[in-house]
Amino acid sequence: MTDKKNPEEEVNWLQGISPNENMNRRGFLQKTTLVVGAAMGATLVNSLPGFPVMAASSSAVGKAKGRKPDIVFPVISDVHIKSNSNDNLDKFVSTLEQLNEIAPMQDAFVVVGDLTENGHTEEYDKFFSVYNARRQTKAASLVAIGNHDYWNGLAVQDAQKRFLEKSSMESIYYHKVIKGYHFIVLGTEDGVTEGTFSVKQIEWMADKLKQANSDDPKKPIFVFHHQPIMGTVYGSEWGFSENRNLFYDTLKAYPQVISFSGHTHYPLDDPRIIHQKDFTSIGTSTGAYLWLDAGRVQGEVPEGVNVLNQALIVEVYNNKVLINRRDIHNNDWTGEPFEISQPAKKNKFIYTDDRDKKAPFFTKDAMISLIHDKTTAASLAVMFSQAKDDLLVHDYKMTVVNMGTGKIEKEILGFSEFYKDPVPNPITLPIDGLKPDTLYEIKVIAIDAFGNESNSSLRVLGKTLMVKEKVNI
C-alpha cells in the first residue's frame, strides 16, 4: 500500500512499480494490441501514469518532534487463529514481533475481537501461546470478544466463560485507566454477525464516559468494540443496527471519544477508515485477510489479499493523538498518520464526510489499450494508466457501448487495486458477458474514495472474436 501524495507534487511515478510493471510508452504498446487501427487502440487523454509509491519511514514511533508521548499502544483485530491451519498464526507472530520493534515501550496492547476463527480451545491456546511469549510485560492487555469467538457450538454464557478463562479478562466489557487515560472495552454479547450491544451495556458505558469526562474533559477517551457503528467508518455497513442510535447518541455527548472497531477487514489505506462528526471513529483492518466493497469485478475478497495484514499504533501527546497505519506484510507505514488535535473540540475535526471535493484526474500522457491475448468471443481486457487523486483513487467505472446499436450494454466497476503493494500501474480490468464479433467503445472514468468522478476519461474501441464453428469429422 502507498503513501498517496498531492496531485501537484512532482514525483517519479515509476519508483514504486515492480520491475515487470515498469513500462514506458513503447513497453505499454508492446504489451497491448491496437484494435481496428491506431485510432481504436491506445488512446492518449488527460490522465496520470499512476500512483507514486513512496513509503514513509519505518523508524520507531514515539519521536514526534523529539517529544515523548504520554502513552503508546498498538491496536489489532480479526486475527482469526484456526485449528487446522497456521497461516494466520504466522501472521500474528510477524505482527507482534514487528510492533515490538517499532513500538518498544508500549503501555497497552489492544485486540478488538475475533481472536479465533471459531472460539475453539485449541485456537485460543495457539493465540495466547504466541501472544504471551511476545507481549511486553509492562503493557496492559485489553482484549475484546468478537462474533467469531462464539462460533463453537457452546451456549452464549459458556462461550463467554471460555473467552474469559483463556484471555484472563475480568468481563466481556470493562474499564481501565492507564497513565490517566480512560480505556473502555465493550463486548458483543452473542455470535450474531452484525453484533449485539444491550441497553444494559450501553448504560454501563455511559457511566464510564461520564466518569472519564469528569476526570479531564480535554483528554481523549478510548472506546473499543468489535463491530462498527453503522454510518461511520469505511465498511460500517457491516455494523450493528440494534440499539445503534442509543449507542451513537451516548458517545455523541463526548466529542473527545476515539472509537476503534474491527470486524469489517476493510483496509486502512482508504481515507474513510477514519470518520469524524460528533466524535472520532476508526476501523482497525485485520490480521488475517482483507475484505472490500461489493460490486467490483475483483470481488469482495480479491485474489492475493490473503497475504495482507495491518495494524494501528496510537501515540497520545498532550492534546494530540497520532494514529499510525502499519502494513505488517510490507514492514512499513501506509499513508501519513491521522492526527487528532484537541480531540474534545468538534470544530477542530478534519476527517469529516465533506473533507474531499476534488475529483481525480487523468493527465495528458495516459494510455489505454486492449490486451490481445485476453480477447475472447465474450470478453475484453482493458489496460490503462492509473489516475491520480489528492487522497485515493478507489474505483474505475467502465461504460461499454455497442457500436452497432449505439446503446450502453454494460457499466462495470473495478477497484484501482489501491490495496496492493505496489499499486499496479498500468492496471488491467476484465469485461465479461459481451456478444461475439461485436465492436465496442469502452469509456473509463476514475472515482475517488468520496465518490468524486473525473471530468476526463479514457476511451478505446475493441472487438470481440467470432465464435468458432464446430467442425464435424
Same domain for 365 and 289? no
Confirm whether 234 is domain-assigned: yes
Same domain for 317 and 438? no
Give the CATH number, domain containing residue 258.
3.60.21.10
- The predicted-structure confidence for 83-130, as pLDDT tens digits, reads as follows 999 999 999 999 999 999 999 999 999 999 999 999 999 999 999 999
From the list 92, 170, 157, 93, the residue with the least C-alpha distance to 119 is: 157
Choosing from 319, 334, 349, the residue where a domain stops is 334
Would you say residue 52 has pLDDT above 70?
Answer: no
State how many domains the chain has. 2
Same domain for 301 and 387? no
Same domain for 114 and 209? yes
DSSP 472: P
Would you say residue 30 has pLDDT above 60?
Answer: no
The predicted model gives 160-167 an average pLDDT of 98
Same domain for 285 and 398? no
Residue 406 in 3-state DSSP?
A: coil
Same domain for 123 and 261? yes
From the list 339, 315, 274, the residue with the least C-alpha distance to 179 is: 315
Give the CATH number, domain containing residue 32.
2.60.40.10
Confirm whether 120 is domain-assigned: yes
Same domain for 182 and 250? yes
pLDDT bracket for residue 285 (50, 70, 90): very high
Same domain for 319 and 397? no
Same domain for 76 and 46? no
> Over the chain, what is the mean pLDDT?
88
Same domain for 325 and 211? yes
Cα 116 to Cα 448: distance, rounded to the nearest angstrom = 34
Confirm whether 449 is domain-assigned: yes
Same domain for 157 and 198? yes
Cis ω for the linkage preceding 426 (within 30 of 0): yes
Type of residue at 78: D
Cα 114 to Cα 36, 132, 263: the distances in Å are 54, 17, 8
- The predicted-structure confidence for 388-433, as pLDDT tens digits, reads as follows 999 999 999 999 999 999 999 999 999 999 999 899 999 999 999 9
Cis ω for the linkage preceding 422 (within 30 of 0): yes
Confirm whether 346 is domain-assigned: no
Confirm whether 445 is domain-assigned: yes
Choosing from 302, 334, 366, the residue where a domain stops is 334
Return the higher-pLDDT residue of 26 and 167. 167
The predicted model gives 118-143 an average pLDDT of 98
pLDDT the model gives residue 36: 36
pLDDT the model gives residue 60: 62
Same domain for 276 and 367? no
The predicted model gives 219-232 an average pLDDT of 98
DSSP 331: T
Domain extent, residue 367, equals 19-53+358-463
